[in-house]
Amino acid sequence: MVSNAMNLDEFIEVDDAAQPLENDDGYSTGPESDTTSVTSSIRRHVKENGRTYHHYKEGKYLVPNDEAERDRLDFYHAVQLAILKDQLYLAPIGDNPQRILDCGTGTGIWALDMADKFPSAAVTGVDLSAIQPEWVFPNVKFEIDDLDQDWTFQEDYFDFIHVRQMFTGIRDYPGFLQQMYKHAKPGGYFEFAESGFMLHSDDGTLTPETKIGYMFERFRECAEKAGVSLPEPEEVAEMATDAGFVDVKIVKMKQPWGAWPKDKRLKHVGRMCAAVGDQHGIEAFCLALFTRFGGMTEEEGKKICAEASREIQTTTHVHAYNELWHVYGRKPEKP
CATH number of the domain that residue 230 is part of: 3.40.50.150
Handedness of CA 48, 52, 58, 62 (dihedral sign): negative
Is residue 19 one of the residues assigned to a domain?
Answer: no
> Which residue numbers in the chain have pLDDT < 50?
1-40
Is residue 26 one of the residues assigned to a domain?
Answer: no
Is residue 306 one of the residues assigned to a domain?
Answer: yes
Domain that holds residue 140: 48-331
pLDDT digits (tens, 9 = 90+) for 273-282: 999 888 888 9
Is residue 302 one of the residues assigned to a domain?
Answer: yes
Partners of residue 144 on adjacent β-strands: 6, 127
- How many structural domains are present in the chain? 1
pLDDT at 11: 28
Is residue 5 one of the residues assigned to a domain?
Answer: no
pLDDT at 58: 53
**Residue at 56: amino acid letter:** Y
pLDDT at 335: 65
Is residue 286 one of the residues assigned to a domain?
Answer: yes
Cα–Cα distance between 115 and 130 in angstroms, integer?
19
pLDDT at 144: 86
Is residue 38 one of the residues assigned to a domain?
Answer: no
Cα–Cα distance between 314 and 34 in angstroms, integer?
50
**Four-CA torsion 221, 227, 231, 237, nearest 10 degrees:** 170
Closest CA to 54 of 62, 67, 45, 63: 45
Closest CA to 5 of 181, 20, 159: 20
pLDDT at 247: 97
Is residue 11 one of the residues assigned to a domain?
Answer: no
Residue 333 CB-density burial (10 A; 0-12 exposed, 13-18 middle, 19+ buried): exposed
HSE toward the beta carbon, residue 331, CA cutoff 13 A: 24
